[in-house]
Each structure stands twice: as structure tokens, then as C-alpha cells.
Amino acid sequence: MKSGTLLVLGGARSGKSAYAEQVVEESELERLYLATARAGDAEMEARIAHHRARRGSAWRVLEEPEALESALAEHASAARAILVDCLTLWLSNLLFAKADLTGRTQLLCRTLRTLPGLAVLVSNEVGMGLVPDNRLGRDFRDTQGRLNQAVAATADRVVFVAAGLPLYLKGAP
């Protein structure tokens, strides 16, 4: 895949990021990793370090925890593949910033439709487990589900990764 939008869904530690990285590497385009995480504690710092070590030095990294839409618009080109990892952390950042989540989801989808090159977005599928026991958790789960649905509708291809294995939901493998 050399152009278009790919959404990669999966649970925690499902292999979705590794799959997304492989797609970008196989595109042979310039690689940009657009990171949405904030290293708020030692455990998150370790997760970020693990991802960096796995990718190696062939990737340019841009950290953008909130302004994802403008970062995509600014850095997209026909010669570049952008990997966004991940939409779940981006949504969390927006939630804590008290942003208009519906408006930002719509803006992200409008932006994705206009991008040249390849955009690969990673997102957690959080609605397949237990119902959260508090309102914030339920609201987040519901909002994440709506975000995933909107991006999936916009994307050219959608892949669900479970146990490291890709399941193609939309578009050809």
C-alpha cells in the first residue's frame, strides 16, 4: 500500500503497532511516526522506549499529543507514510483537555480524506471487554467506539489484529 488510509484496530498487546509498522516499512516510502503518547510515568516511558527500539533509526518521530489533524496536514506528502500511534491516547489527551470530541473526530476524518501519501492509524478496540464500572470509563469506551467507527468509515482499509494475526475487515489485504 503506497497511498490511502489504513486503520489498524486491536486490543492491548495484540500486535497492532508491529503490524502497522510493517505496512509502512513495506511501502518503501519515507517513514514518519506521529506519536500521541505522553510519558507521564515510568511504565509509560518503558512502553515508549520499547516501541522506539523496535522501530530503529529509519523512522523520523514527531510527538503530537493533541494537534493531530494539523500535524497530519502539515507533514503528509505523496513520498511519505505517516504512522499515527495511537488514536486511543490522542482521544484520552483530548478528553482530559475538555476538547469537543465530536468536532475533533469530524475534523480528523475530513483531514484524512485530503491527505496525499499513506496514513496508517492505530487504535485500540476497547468495547469488547467488561463494561466499565464508572461513568468516565463508560463514556470513554463509547467515545472511542464512535471514533473508531468514524475513522473506519473514512479509511480505505481496516484491519483488526488479534494475537499478532491480521483480520481484514475492509479493503483487500
> What residues are labeled active site?
51
Q: Which three cell numbers stand for residue 45?
A: 516511558
Find how far residue 83's CA is from the centre of its chain: 7
Query: What does the DSSP assignment read for the chain?
Result: --SEEEEEEE-TTSSHHHHHHHHHHHHTSEEEEEE-----SHHHHHHHHHHHHHH-TT-EEEE-SS-HHHHHHHH--TTEEEEEE-HHHHHHHHHHTT--HHHHHHHHHHHHHH--SEEEEEEE--TTSPPPSSHHHHHHHHHHHHHHHHHHHH-SEEEEEETTEEEEEES--
